[in-house]
């Protein structure tokens, strides 16, 4: 009796916990569902994006908007399956009219798949994989895509006289693989040669890749991956990479990266969406200052993209007679033209619903990120 009673008690507790979730139904404004990695290996991306979104929300509310809206955040725990489950929870349980998320391309892919079948518009602030928006009219993005980033990075490397590149790839990541393939295409078309080395995300020891790269004796090392692997890789390589230049993409742009590389002496450059110290950009400087003031941290690219994505969405919502209508809102998002964001001018009125923005090259120097140059693709 006591045993069965305990089991039943546990069961009812769990059901009770589930029941508390369905309370968002009587809200009559625009419900914006946000799916971000708040725990797991990509947690700093989630945190930065969410900070950016909160800052944007505060600014919008202060400026006064006649659209009633609220943000509902769900944690995708840095895995694709959880991302899809959370996207479904937002759309089906929380009544989200639009989704924002996520960061990693593999995770955004599962969210976008669910959004398409649910008929809910979705904007990703930061997923750059080219294939994401093909064949899915419900997904838009406010960042550049990897074919652009790969091309720009290849041009950048060649303009520095680096002809032979060693490329570090994680085959299990859509971002890493797509980005590396795009780089290879552009780099080899312009006369460079590439040598691929493969790593596994989340490893504690990268010595295989490091040795493989060192044996290939390249002019430049390209790490196609996220900061949580790139950082330790550079740190562990130390003398074996003999101060060779290292390049990467927006996946390396995290405050954590600067700590992870330790005292590595290699010159490091990466392409990204924004640099807080970019010259002649008062809006960027103001944003960076307010971000530091509120969160006590240096804003990364994800913070700026998180900030911009809400402005793009609200700009589209303003042009709708009824922003809660999924089809109308999605059409409006797709018609976005010249929204001035922190990361540049954003226009989504193209078949890919991807903006054509300039990229920023950042140099890591003395444990800090320094603006290097802006490149228009």
Partner 1 sequence: MDAGVLQLPLAIKLDLWLTDQVILVGLFALLALSLNLINGWGRMFSLGHHGFYFLGAYGAAWLTAALPTGLPGALVFVTTCLFGMLVATAGGLLIGVPCLRLRGDYLAIATLGFGEGVRLVISNADVRVPPGFTVPRVLFEVNSSNLLMYRLLFLGIVILLVVGVVLLIRNYVRSSAGRAMLAVAQDERAAGLLGINPTGSKVLVFLMGSAIAGLAGAVYAHYSGSVAPKDFEFVLMVTIFLIVVLGGLGSISGCILAAFLLRATERGLGMVGGVVSEWWQVEFALILILLMIFRPNGIFGPRELTDVIRDWRQRRRAGSKA
Residues that bind partner 1 (CB under 8 A): 1, 3-4, 7, 10-11, 14-18, 20-22, 25-26, 38-39, 74-75, 79-81, 84-85, 88-89, 91-93, 95, 106, 109-110, 113-114, 116-119, 129, 131, 134, 171-174, 198, 200-201, 326
Q: Which two tokens stand for residue 7?
A: 């089991």
Residue 105: closest CA among 150, 138, 145, 136 = 145
Closer by beta carbon to partner 1, 16 or else 366: 16
Residue 48: CB minimum distance to partner 1, A: 16
Buried b (16+ CB within 10 A) or exposed e, 166-193: bbbbbeebbbbbbbbbbbbebbeeeebe
- Beta strands at 268-272 and 339-341: parallel, antiparallel or unpaired: unpaired
Residue 175: CB minimum distance to partner 1, A: 11
Closer by beta carbon to partner 1, 89 or else 331: 89
Closer by beta carbon to partner 1, 196 or else 371: 196
DSSP per-residue letters across 339-355: EEETTEEE---STT---
Closer by beta carbon to partner 1, 46 or else 249: 46
Residue 95: CB minimum distance to partner 1, A: 7
Q: Nearest 5°: phi and psi at 277?
A: -105, 25
Residue 43: CB minimum distance to partner 1, A: 11
| CA distances from residue 79 to 99, 121, 173 in whole angstroms, order as listed | 17, 21, 11
CA 288, 291, 292, 298 torsion: positive or negative? negative
Closer by beta carbon to partner 1, 140 or else 272: 140
Q: Nearest 5°: phi and psi at 130?
A: -55, -40
Closer by beta carbon to partner 1, 108 or else 343: 108
Residue 310: CB minimum distance to partner 1, A: 21
Residue 165: CB minimum distance to partner 1, A: 20
């Amino acid at each position: 009796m006591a045993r069965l009673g305990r089991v039943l008690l546990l069961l009812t507790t769990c059901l009770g916990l589930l029941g508390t979730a369905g309370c968002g139904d009587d809200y009559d404004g625009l419900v914006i569902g946000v799916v971000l990695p708040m725990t797991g290996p990509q947690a700093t991306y989630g945190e930065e994006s969410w900070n950016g979104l909160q800052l944007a929300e505060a600014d919008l509310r202060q400026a006064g908007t006649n659209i009633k809206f609220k943000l509902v955040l769900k944690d995708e725990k840095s895995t694709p399956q959880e991302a899809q489950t959370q996207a479904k929870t937002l759309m089906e349980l929380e009544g989200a009219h639009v989704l924002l998320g996520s960061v990693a391309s593999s995770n955004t892919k599962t969210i976008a798949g669910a959004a398409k079948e649910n008929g809910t518009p979705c904007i990703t602030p930061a997923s750059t994989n080219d294939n994401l928006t093909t064949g899915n009219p419900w997904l838009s993005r406010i960042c550049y895509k990897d074919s652009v980033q790969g091309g720009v990075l290849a041009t950048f490397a060649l303009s520095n006289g680096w002809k032979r590149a060693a490329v570090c790839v994680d085959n299990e990541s859509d971002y890493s693989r797509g980005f590396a393939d795009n780089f290879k295409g552009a780099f080899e078309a312009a006369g460079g040669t590439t040598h691929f080395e493969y790593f596994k995300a989340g490893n504690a020891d990268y010595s295989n890749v490091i040795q493989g790269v060192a044996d290939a004796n390249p002019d430049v090392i390209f790490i196609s991956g996220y900061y949580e692997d790139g950082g330790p890789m550079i740190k562990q390589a130390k003398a074996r990479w003999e101060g060779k230049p290292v390049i990467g993409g927006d996946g390396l742009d995290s405050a954590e990266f600067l700590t992870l590389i330790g005292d590595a002496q290699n010159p490091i450059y990466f392409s990204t969406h924004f640099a807080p110290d970019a010259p002649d950009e008062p809006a960027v400087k103001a944003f960076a200052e307010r971000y530091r003031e509120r969160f006590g941290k240096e804003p990364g690219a994800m913070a700026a993209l998180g900030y911009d994505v809400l402005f793009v969405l609200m700009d589209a919502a303003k042009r709708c007679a009824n922003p809660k209508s999924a089809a109308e809102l999605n059409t409006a998002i797709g018609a976005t033209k010249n929204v001035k964001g922190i990361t540049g001018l954003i226009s989504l009125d193209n078949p890919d619903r991807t903006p054509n923005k300039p990229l920023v090259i950042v140099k890591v120097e003395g444990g800090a990120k320094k603006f290097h140059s802006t490149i228009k693709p």
